[in-house]
Every structure is written in C-alpha cells, then in structure tokens.
A and B are shown apart, each in its own frame.
Chain A
Amino acid sequence: MAISERPQSAQDGQRLDYQAKLTGRAAYLADMKMPGVLEGVVLRSPVAHAWIRYVDTSEALKVPGVVAVYTKDDVVQGTGIEPYYGPVFKDQTIVAVDKVRHVGDPVAAVAAETREAAEEAANLIVVEYEDLPPVMDVQDSVKEDATLVHETVRIPEHGFADLAELKPIENTNVCTHFKLRKGDIEQGFAECAHVFEDTFILPTTQHVALEPHGCIAAFQPDGRVNLWSTTQNPFVVRTQLANIFKMPVSKIRIMVPYLGGGYGSKVYPKIEPLTMALAQKAKRPVRILLSREEVFYTVTKHAAFIRMKTGVKADGTFHAREAEVFLDTGAFAEIGPRVAKKSAYTAAGPYKFSHVKIDAKSVYTNKPPAGAFRGFGVSQSAWASESQTDIIAKALGRDPYELRMQNIYDEGDEFVTGEKLWSIGVKGCLEKVAQEMKWGEPMPAPDDPSKVRGRGLAALIKATITPSISCAAIKLNEDGSVNVFTSTVEMGQGSDTAMAAIVADTLGISLDQVSVLGVDTDVVPYDLTTSSSRSTFHMGKALELASLDLCEQLRKFVSEEHGVPFEETRMEGGKVLFRENALDIREVLFNHFGMQGGTLVGRGEVKTSTVDPDTGDKTTSSFWFVGAGGSEVEIDKDTGRLRVLKHATAVDVGRVITPLGCQQQLVGGAITGMGQALFEQMVWDNGILVNPNLVDYVLPALGDMPDEITPIAVEVPHKNGPFGAKGIGETSLIPVAPSIANAVDDAVGVRIKDLPVTAEKIFLGMLDK
C-alpha cells in the first residue's frame, strides 16, 4: 500500500487533553471518588532478604475501623487463588509467602475505613524474620556460592511468544541468559589490527512519574470486578488478574484515567493484584495509593555491568564485537528477560560488524524488581557501545563522527540477526545532529578562562516488541462525528491527539469531530501495551484500517443505492464521490438508515510477526527506531563542575503525525536522559535503600537544563506505519548519556565509564592526569 501524504488535522499544535489538564479538571486516579471505599495500606519488609517465620495480625484486627488484613495465609490457603504470577516467570506473589526478597517487599495489607486506622493497624502487625545474606550486586549474585534469591522459579504455560526460549538457569541467580551470535568471534578478533576492552556501569534508577501508582478495586454483587488503575497495559494486567483469581477476563473490567506519567513504570501488574485481593477479602471497594517511598520499592530501571570488547581493522572498519551484559533485574523477573534480550540486540550499536558474540543475562538480586524503563535495556548497552566508539576513535586518531559514518547501518544492510534493515534513517540522523552541533568547526572559547568546552555524539538502534497485537474500533455517528475506541493509554505522550488525527485524516473530517473514549477493557478492543514506542505505529495503523473499513462501508451503501460499481466510488474530504456527485457522510448515513440515526462500526487490527508478511524474511522488530544525539558541555577546570550548554537530538520518526507531540517526545526524552546522565541513582547500604525520596534522589529541574535542546525529526517513512509513521517515545533518551560522556572526554580528556557523570568523577579524573 502506498504511503499516504502527511496528515493535516493536528498540524496546528492543539492537544485534546489540554483544556482539562490546564484547568485542573483532568481526572487522575487519586482524584476519583467512590462511595464506601476502604483505604488500603501495605506493610513492607524492612530487610532485604529473610525467611518469614510468622505473621501475627491479632492486634491489628482490634484497631477500630479495620475491615480486613491480608497475609500469606490468604495467598496460600485462601480463596482458591493461584498464588504465583508474573509476566514472564511466575515468581511473584500477592504478598510474600515464604521469604522477603527486597526491602519494601509487601508482607501484609490492611483495609480500613480511614488511612490512619489502616496505618495504625499495619504498624501493629508482628512479623518475625530470619535473616539471610542479601545479594545486592550482579557481580556477587552470579558467583557460585551466592545465596539464591529464588529456590525455584515457575514457568507459565502460555508466556510471551518472543520470550518462549528463555528459561531460568537452575540453582543460580541467573534469571535468563540470551545469546546472540554472528560469524566466528575468535576469528574476527584475529583479523583485527586493534582490539579494545572496557567495562561500563550504570546504577539503579527510578522513573519518578510524578503520579505514584494507585488502584481502586470494587467487586460487584454478581461477582464481576471493576478496577481503576494507573496502568500502561490494562489488557496484560487483566490477563494476570484472571490467572491469579481464576476468573474469565470478561468479568474483570479495568478502566484507566489519565496517567501522570509512566515511562515504563506502569506496565505489568503492580499494586493491582493486592488491591483486588484486599477488596475480595473485605467485601468492600478498596483503594491503595502508593507513597513516593513505596514507588521506589515497586519498580526500578535495571542497573547494569557491561564488558565490551571490540575489534577494529586498520582502516577503522568495525569487525568484531563481544559483549557481556549483566542486568540487575532485582528480586523478581518481571519483564527483565525481555529487557536483557532487547539490550543484546543493540549491544553492537547501529554498526555493521561481521562477527558478534553477545551474552545478555538478567540476574536476580535482593533489590526491588527492575522492569521497563523508557529505553528498555538499550540505554544500558548504548552507554557502553557509544562510549567505546569514542574510545576507539581517540586511540586511532579518527574523528568520532567520521568513524561512525564509516560503520553505520544504511538501507538494506544486514543486522546482527542476519535480516535486512529497511526504513533506517540513522545515517541521516547523525548527519543532522553533527550539522546542528557545528561538528568539525572550532569550538568557541568560553568567556571564563577557568572553563573548557567539548562536544560529543552518540547514535542508536532499538527494536520494538514483536510480535504484538493492536485492535481498534471506531463508531460513526448519525451526524458524521466519530467515537474512537482504543486501549492506548494517554499518559502524557499525546496519544489521544495522534490517534484522533489519524482517524480524522483518513476519513477526511476535522479533528473536532473526533472523540477518544479513554480506556475501559469492557468496551475497547484488545491492545498489548502502551510501551515500547509502539502505539502510533501499531494502534495508529489499526485506527487507519478501522477508518478505511468505514470508508468502504459508506462506498458500498452509495454503490448499492445509486447502482454505481463500487470501484467507481471513492472517499475524499469526508465525502463519497461518484460520477459528478459528492455525498457527505451524514447524507449517506441518512439515506442508508432512512432516518436520522444508526451507527456504523469500523474495525481494524494489526498483528505483527517475526516473519515479514511481504517478503517471508525474519524480522526481529516490526520497525526499528533509530536516532542520534549530540551534546556540548562546559567544564570548570578547578572543580569539575559540568554544564550541558546545548543538546541536539535527531530521531527518524517515519512521518510526523502531530508536530507538537513529536517535539515534546523528542525534547522530553532528552531531558529524561539528562537526569539519567547527570544526577539520578538509587543508593544502597547493606540492602537498605538510602534515598527513596525526592530530597536525596536528585531530579533535574528547570535551571539544570541546557540553554537549547534542538529536536530534529528525520522522516524515512515505513511501509506499515500509518502515513509512514514510526514510534518515537524512547529514541531521544538513549544517546544523551554517552554523548555527554564523550563531550567530557573531548573537553578535559577524562573518560567516565560509570553513570552518572558527576563533577566529582570529572574532578578526580583530572587529578589523575
């Protein structure tokens, strides 16, 4: 199918959610009221690793206002539930049943008439622990004599198709080990003139979506249950709840209000199973709103330890890449196995290597579970790969830009997996960023002689989740207006507006005729997830197809009513055209139904597979997202203090659907990347998290921003995307940290290999020189 022209309906920068959000009237989960709701409070483990000897709730139950207390006894012998769950492996339980595996692991929960009563009761629950040595670091965790985090791990019957081959390695803390091989690595290194070996480290960080997680669960008298939740993938959560509570999915209804940020922190079950269990036991609606501290115990970004070895030929050709990527997945597998797999795919960067050997391990430790985080394993491997690219350039006396351009992927090049890459504008992105950064031009001297400046670049390639499913429906009303039914969660990324724009443009109507319902699993068709930068590509396409389905139905009506062959009708500008006639949608509907009324439903579905339906070739990713970033930094020679003066980010977006949304995602992702690069890290002491709050966990603020962040949309359309569009949510984050580290090295000759890049590290590095 030919790629359509650029959509027009959302070119003026309006967003459907702005009026509500600017006036304080947008409803988020914590803003919802429910009569008779009980407040749920969770009792969490104060230790990182211990057997639970007993849990005594007798005093807690005496607190006035307490309705139910939920403990391991309810999980094990309670209401006939399946105790173990998890998106990849069944290693999680609603509350800890045998041992606690991280500080903050839920041990019990209380539902009471007020939050105060619930908190008081939770404090009166007595738990006896028998301490075990915690493993807090991937390096320790993979040692032979390491204490096991899980004695056994259960495998689900129907897991994710893309992870079916991954299994835990018994009697070790290795959750999964994914191997990627191409050519013969030893031969590859033997053929190289230069071999480089480095180790790179990234700390655990947290998303800090300003809205903490929350859930409300309310059972209905007929046994159905309604949940309102802060989830990015309601259908996956619904499946997990159905498995745990042994209910058909039709009886579990999940509604998702606007999310106050997600960034990956709200995919897969979080507080939903416990809220639902508590509501079931209390026989009353229950809501649990997590505190900021609890959010830090709920999900994190994988810390990583990466060994990278690269062989380069005398002329600078990248030839052999070996990498060992250890990802700290914390106490539960969660989606860690996929994070490791995605990390592996891009550990060779966006470069052509003849010989590749990647080993990516997700490793259990006694930290809170690590899960999805914008960049999903790739910001980890790109930190190593893009930093080492500059190390190589410097050693060979090559320009880092030229060296990248010599080795970077182009259309039709072969990826590590052997498949061909199409719609891959990474070269263009790097070119544009270099231009914007004035690469190759002399650096202007800072006004202050105690300061020195440098520039750095980085590029990336990342896969999206494949295979996956997006189903969508739209309803055409009697007046020609449209209601959109999509499970894509509006969490700030502007998806409601992008989806509405795709429908409006495909039907040829204006954006103000389109309404997006919001997520309700009883109503909207199935969608796998709002993550992996997949929504515009997959759901957008499903909605384009649903709109085309409607167009076809309208043309059929006209064809039948006017005796015109179907092929001689067409739809344009919201009108059905045949011969010299043009009927608007409302007229066609009126003629069909014979009165003002009736509904037409358009359906669309997108299911991607690991085989390209057009060519039969293997595809690891239904589209690839690529981009590049550049940073200019200024460093105080006396103190090491670093300031990013400018950042440019170029992303191959395929096709711009909503210009404002594109700009916000590109710049916003880069700013999240700045936090990861410069400030953020969770700090541990003897298994205890010392900074689970926003005083000690440092976030970037307005004053930390560069003077200028320049977003550049490069458009290399994709044949399967709506209007040629691809996903853009994660791309701009990934090159930020390595581009800054590369700029630091350019400025002062100090190579930082462990994030974050702090003044202290730069200062100590300058002292060592």
Chain B
Amino acid sequence: MKKAITMEVNGASCRVEVEPWRTLLDVVREELDLTGAKLGCDIQVCGACTLLVDGKPVSACSVLAVDADGRKVTTVEGLAEGDRLHPLQESFMKFGALQCGYCTSGFLLTAKAMLDENPHPDDEQIKSYMGGSFCRCGCYQEIMQALRSVARS
C-alpha cells in the first residue's frame, strides 16, 4: 500500500506516493530522478548516499522515505544556484578534490552541514565531522585543502 508524502526538495515542494518500506535514497533517485547521491555500502558507513534532511546529514540508504514526510531535503543538485557553483563546489574544483566523483555528492553535502553548524572549523574538527565519508581514489589531501580553504574564508 502506497503512502503519499510531501517534501521540500531543493526548495521546491513535491508530492510522491511511495511504499512505506522504500528508502529516501531510492525515492530521490528513482522517483525524483535526482541521482547525484549514490548507493555505496547500504549500511550507513561510506557516506556516498548522504543527503541533508532539515539541514542535517543523513545516510539516505537507511532512512525511510516516509520519515522525510514534511521535511526539507537537500541534494547535490540543489547546491549550485543556476550556473553559479556553491563555494564548496568551486573549492573542490580548484583543489582537485575528486577523481571518480562517486563520493563527491556525499562529501559536499556533509561539508555543507558542517559549515552551516560551524563556519570556521579547524583541521581536527573537519577530520572528525567528515569521518563518515570514504574516498577510495584517495583525494583526502585535496579534500582537506578544499575544505580548509572554505573554512578560512
């Protein structure tokens, strides 16, 4: 039996009918065609599926879509304003903080949540906050440089 839910996704209200067992990641990817968030581990460890719900990072692989009913969801597609990239995206581009790009959406959104909470984190705070995201191409050094740059601006 499907249930109707309403979410504000990247600033726009949207209503979808979903089975109660479907995950937020599945619904955002399959029903809303926002595929920037990726399935990586399926058990809230790798960070590739991270979305912001009411501004807080969640592992969308392990959150039910019905639990996002009435909430604000931000995906990587909602970061740029038109053609203007978000400062985090600019910084990732400048420092080369990605290779394959599969983890990038999760890193960007987690970093956004971190900076919304604390605009000027130090290195230890960055490492701690970003500890739930894996990059297997090994861009950690460039990611650190990119985040430091935004945190100090």
Q: Which A residues lie at the B interface, using CB under 8 A?
A: 13, 15, 17-18, 20-28, 30-31, 33, 207-212, 258-261, 263, 291-292, 491-494, 660, 663-664, 667-672, 693-695, 699-703, 705, 709
Which B residues are CB-close (under 8 A) to A31? 29, 35
Docked complex: B79-101 residues within 8 A CB-CB of A: 79-80, 85, 89, 92-94, 96, 98-101
Minimum C-beta distance from A512 to chain B (A): 16
20 contacts between A and B (CB under 8 A): A17-B101, A22-B85, A22-B98, A23-B77, A23-B79, A28-B102, A30-B39, A209-B102, A210-B100, A261-B102, A292-B40, A492-B101, A492-B102, A664-B137, A664-B138, A670-B138, A695-B43, A702-B140, A702-B143, A705-B141
A21 to B139, CA, bound (A): 14
Which B residues are CB-close (under 8 A) to A28? 35, 38, 102
Which A residues are CB-close (under 8 A) to B79? 23
B142 contacts A by Cβ under 8 Å: yes
Q: Which B residues lie at the A interface, using CB under 8 A?
A: 29, 33-43, 45-46, 48, 75-77, 79-80, 85, 89, 92-94, 96, 98-105, 108, 126-128, 130-144
Which A residues are CB-close (under 8 A) to B132? 701
Beyond A18-B98, A702-B144, whether A260 also contacts B38 by CB under 8 A is: yes
Which A residues are CB-close (under 8 A) to B133? 701-702
Instruction: Please determine whether B46 and A210 come into contact, CB atoms closer than 8 angstroms.
Output: yes
A27 to B141, CA, bound (A): 26
Minimum C-beta distance from A237 to chain B (A): 19
Instruction: Please determine whether A259 and B128 come into contact, CB atoms closer than 8 angstroms.
Output: no
Instruction: Please determine whether A13 and B75 come into contact, CB atoms closer than 8 angstroms.
Output: no
6 closest Cβ contacts across the A-B interface?
A: A24-B36, A492-B100, A671-B138, A260-B102, A21-B101, A668-B138
Partner of B41, one of A663, A693, A705: A693
Instruction: Please determine whether B140 and A23 come into contact, CB atoms closer than 8 angstroms.
Output: no
Which A residues are CB-close (under 8 A) to B103? 210
A669 to B46, CA, bound (A): 19
A207 to B137, CA, bound (A): 10
Chain A's closest residue to B80 (CB) is A23
Minimum C-beta distance from B19 to chain A (A): 9
Partner of A24, one of B35, B134, B138: B35
Which A residues are CB-close (under 8 A) to B85? 22-23
Which B residues are CB-close (under 8 A) to A22? 85, 89, 92-93, 98, 101, 104, 108
Minimum C-beta distance from A493 to chain B (A): 7
A209 to B93, CA, bound (A): 22
Partner of B100, one of A259, A694, A705: A259
Instruction: Please determine whether B42 and A23 come into contact, CB atoms closer than 8 angstroms.
Output: no
Minimum C-beta distance from A737 to chain B (A): 15
Which A residues are CB-close (under 8 A) to B41? 292, 693-694
A699 to B137, CA, bound (A): 12
Instruction: Please determine whether A292 and B100 come into contact, CB atoms closer than 8 angstroms.
Output: no
Partner of A23, one of B36, B48, B96, B134: B36
Partner of A664, one of B127, B131, B139, B144: B139
Minimum C-beta distance from A632 to chain B (A): 16
Minimum C-beta distance from B115 to chain A (A): 15
A21 to B35, CA, bound (A): 11
Which B residues are CB-close (under 8 A) to A669? 138
Minimum C-beta distance from A34 to chain B (A): 13
Instruction: Please determine whether A261 and B140 come into contact, CB atoms closer than 8 angstroms.
Output: no
Instruction: Please determine whether B89 and A23 come into contact, CB atoms closer than 8 angstroms.
Output: yes
Partner of A702, one of B75, B96, B101, B127: B127
Beyond A210-B100, A702-B133, whether A693 also contacts B40 by CB under 8 A is: no
Instruction: Please determine whether A701 and B100 come into contact, CB atoms closer than 8 angstroms.
Output: no
Minimum C-beta distance from B117 to chain A (A): 17
Chain B's closest residue to A31 (CB) is B35
Minimum C-beta distance from A697 to chain B (A): 10
Partner of A261, one of B42, B96, B100, B131: B100
A703 to B141, CA, bound (A): 10
Which A residues are CB-close (under 8 A) to B45? 693-695
Instruction: Please determine whether B131 and A702 come into contact, CB atoms closer than 8 angstroms.
Output: yes
Instruction: Please determine whether A667 and B136 come into contact, CB atoms closer than 8 angstroms.
Output: no
Instruction: Please determine whether B144 and A23 come into contact, CB atoms closer than 8 angstroms.
Output: no
Instruction: Please determine whether A660 and B38 come into contact, CB atoms closer than 8 angstroms.
Output: no
Chain B's closest residue to A208 (CB) is B136
Most central of A291, A667, A669, A701 by chain B CB within 10 Å: A701
Minimum C-beta distance from B52 to chain A (A): 13
Instruction: Please determine whether B39 and A660 come into contact, CB atoms closer than 8 angstroms.
Output: no
Instruction: Please determine whether A664 and B104 come into contact, CB atoms closer than 8 angstroms.
Output: no
Which A residues are CB-close (under 8 A) to B140? 671, 700-702, 705
Instruction: Please determine whether A493 and B127 come into contact, CB atoms closer than 8 angstroms.
Output: no
Minimum C-beta distance from A362 to chain B (A): 26
Which A residues are CB-close (under 8 A) to B75? 24
Minimum C-beta distance from B109 to chain A (A): 10
Instruction: Please determine whether B105 and A24 come into contact, CB atoms closer than 8 angstroms.
Output: yes
Chain A's closest residue to B26 (CB) is A115
Most central of B33, B96, B104, B142 by chain A CB within 10 Å: B96
Instruction: Please determine whether A664 and B100 come into contact, CB atoms closer than 8 angstroms.
Output: no
Minimum C-beta distance from B50 to chain A (A): 12
Minimum C-beta distance from B33 to chain A (A): 8
Which A residues are CB-close (under 8 A) to B42? 291-292
A263 to B99, CA, bound (A): 12
Instruction: Please determine whether B134 and A664 come into contact, CB atoms closer than 8 angstroms.
Output: no
Most central of B40, B126, B144 by chain A CB within 10 Å: B40
A291 to B61, CA, bound (A): 12
Which B residues are CB-close (under 8 A) to A491? 100
Which B residues are CB-close (under 8 A) to A702? 126-127, 130-131, 133, 140, 143-144
